[in-house]
Structures are given as C-alpha cells and as structure tokens.
C-alpha cells in the first residue's frame, strides 16, 4: 500500500479538532468540531479557510509555454493576458476529459519570482499523471516543474476579501480569475481570486514552511473559521461545479458535461486556432450535433437524500441515467444532485426518479447553479 501523505498543516488540523480522512492519498480534514453544515453556512455568510495543499501545483517555463499547452486543451491560452487565469481541461483522443485544471499566466515580474510562464493547479488524484502527460507532449517547448515545496490554502466567502485585505490591501485590486504575487504574514504568496465554492474568495500558494504561520494569521482575523472537505463538497455542488472522477472523467466530453462555455470561439471550428488538441474532431462533432446525453441539475421533491451512484429512471421505470453527485443542500434545505440523462429528459422542470433503497424518489430537472455564484468581477 502507498504511504498516506500529510499536508504542512496536518498538526494544525489536529489541534483544531479536525476529523481526518484519507483523500487522494493524503490525510485531510473532512470536518471540525462544529460539523459540515455549520462550516458550509459559515462560508456562505463569512469566510472559511480550506487546506487544499493536496492539489498539484506546477509551473511551466518557456517562451512557447502558452502555445505548447494550448495544443493539449481546447482552451485559448495564447491570448490569456498576464495576470489572468482560465479554467481548462486535458482531453484524450476520444474527446474525454483527462483532468480539469486552472491555468494562470503570471506577469513577467511574477514569473521572475519563481511562478513560471504558466502556473497550473491540477487535481490531487491526477497530478502525477498530469505531470507525465505534460512532460511527454510539451517537449522542448516548455519545462514542467512540480512545486511540492508549496502549500495551497483557499479562503472563501463574502468576507474573504475584507479578511485577506487586512493582511495586504493589494489583494483588493484582484478581480475574479486574476492573480498576483503579494506578501501575506511575511510570506511571498501567489494569490488568485478564484475558488471552488461559488463564493468570492482566494486561493493562496505559500511556501510549505510558512503555511502554518499564514493559516494562523488568517484564522485570527474576524469572520474566518476553518472548514474541511465535507463543506467544500457541499459548497461546490450547490455551485454546480464538477468534481473530477465523479461528474467528469476520461469517458465524459466537455460537451456532455456542459462545459462548452470554457471553449472559446477562437478554438472552435472556423476559429483562428481551431482544433489541434487531442480529441478535437470528436468535440467539434459534438459541438455541431450534440451528445446523446448531458449533465443536469436535479432537485428532490421529497426529503430523501439522493447520493452518487443512484440510478435514474423515467416514469415507467426504464433506466435513463445515474447520479454523479448528491447531497442535502444546507442552503436550500432540500436534496440536490447532478447526473446524466438523455436530452429528451434534460429539459428544466422535467420529472425523473432516483432509485433509493428500493423505492423511486421524484426529482425535478433544474438549471444550475443551485445557489447563485457571487464572484467578484469588478
């Protein structure tokens, strides 16, 4: 068995009373003493601090880094402005998603401080595979450098900006999907205004040996409290955001997953830099003609939790799909889920049924997000 890893904040989590679980090979806090629901609601009302140091941080160095990486994703990176961030996904030859990731182009000054010509955050379960994928395909056009010496914190919620701004007012100049280097609690950090909760917030890359000092400084600020993976999952589900390996995987295309908003016109058929990435022909075919099914939001019509893996059936009991994520929404106080169904069942207000412990639970297709995003766009 592989050794279970720990993040630089492990001892701090224990001191805060965290319940620890193994996730993606790391011992991580799933919740603290107040519980998942309290942590979730605190993030929606104030500011929650998450340890996401299990995620993979990479930098790509090279004058051709953007063009080289663009050959692996259906996303416009060549035109990504310095200091800006973009959501992307690696695709395979069939158009399936190998991983989704965040890509930031640091300014030249920030790149010179060690954050590369491109800075990437990839999923924990995929970081080794992603690193190998990049090294295999970028070749001499980009030098891939993993950054295991850095921790990653996420400060999320409507009071996150006020809290972080107390440590350095410069962060207030950031808008959604932008990033910069700044000093926080004496640590040189790379800060992006982004996150995985649907709230305004920040992700903060900090040297591992300074992570505890920064986390304690943040937790000492008014309105900031720790939150674990449990709340992170319920928050991202309310926000309608995909979890890799659950809602998307190598057999899921961006079109079926409803992620076509991330494929800019310049990368689509007829665009100046259309295609050229793995699976381009398949994805362009699906963009033009649609897919057999698609990801939808589902709201339970009864107070019965519907979990991942539940079978979805129509009114006659015929199997039509499955649930990929499900919870009882702490904000809406009702069951919500995401899943895949054929297009004739995917229209809003259409009723389907989830099989739960031998009975059929009615659910209604709805648009997402379930809870409105509150990103700071300036």
The domain 5-53+149-238 having CATH identifier 3.30.1360.120: the answer here is: yes
pLDDT in tens, 2-30: 799 999 999 999 999 999 999 999 999 99
CATH class of 292-369: mainly beta
Average pLDDT (283-305) is 97
Question: pTM for this one?
Answer: 0.97
Locate the DSSP E strands across 92-186: 97-105, 118-122, 143-146, 150-156, 179-184
Burial of 87 per CB tally in 10 Å (0-12, 13-18, 19+): middle
Separation of alpha carbons 43 and 232, rounded Å: 9
pLDDT score at 2? 74
Given strand 179-184, what is the order of strands in its sheet? 179-184, 187-192, 201-207, 150-156, 47-51, 224-226
Q: What are phi and psi of 65, to 5 degrees?
A: -55, -45
CA 151 to chain centroid: 17
pLDDT in tens, 157-186: 999 999 999 999 999 999 999 999 999 999
pLDDT score at 1? 56
């Amino acid at each position: 068995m592989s050794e279970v890893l720990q993040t630089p904040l492990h001892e701090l989590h224990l001191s805060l009373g965290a319940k620890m679980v193994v996730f993606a090979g790391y011992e991580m806090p799933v919740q603290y003493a107040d519980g998942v629901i309290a942590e979730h609601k605190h993030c929606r009302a104030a500011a929650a601090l998450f340890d996401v140091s299990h995620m993979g941080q990479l930098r790509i160095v090279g004058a051709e880094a953007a063009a080289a990486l663009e050959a692996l994703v259906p996303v416009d990176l060549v035109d990504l402005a310095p200091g800006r961030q973009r959501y992307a996904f690696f695709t395979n030859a069939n158009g399936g998603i190998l991983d989704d990731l965040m890509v930031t182009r640091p300014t030249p000054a920030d790149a010179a401080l060690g954050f590369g010509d491109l800075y990437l955050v990839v999923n924990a379960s995929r970081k080794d595979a992603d690193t190998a994928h990049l090294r295999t395909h970028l070749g001499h056009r980009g030098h891939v450098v993993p950054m295991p010496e850095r921790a990653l914190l996420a400060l999320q919620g409507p009071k996150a900006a006020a809290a972080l701004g107390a440590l350095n007012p410069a962060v207030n100049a950031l808008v959604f999907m932008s990033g910069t280097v700044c000093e926080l609690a004496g640590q040189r950090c790379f800060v992006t205004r982004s996150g995985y909760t649907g709230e305004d917030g920040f992700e903060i890359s900090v040297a591992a040996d300074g992570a505890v000092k920064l986390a304690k400084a943040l937790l000492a600020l008014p309105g900031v409290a720790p939150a674990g993976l449990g709340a992170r999952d319920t928050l991202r589900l309310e926000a309608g955001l995909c979890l890799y390996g659950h809602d998307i995987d190598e057999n899921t295309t961006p079109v079926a997953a409803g992620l076509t908003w991330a494929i800019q016109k310049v990368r689509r058929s007829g665009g100046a830099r259309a295609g050229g990435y793995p699976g381009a022909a398949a994805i362009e075919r699906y963009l033009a003609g649609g897919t057999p099914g698609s990801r939808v939001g589902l709201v339970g019509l009864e107070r019965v939790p519907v979990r991942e893996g539940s079978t979805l059936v129509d009114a006659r009991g015929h199997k039509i799909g499955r649930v990929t994520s499900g919870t009882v929404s702490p904000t809406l106080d009702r069951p919500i889920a995401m899943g895949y169904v054929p297009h004739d069942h995917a229209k809003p207000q259409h009723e389907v049924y989830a099989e739960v412990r031998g009975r059929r639970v009615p659910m209604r297709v709805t648009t997402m997000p379930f809870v409105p995003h509150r990103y700071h766009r300036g």
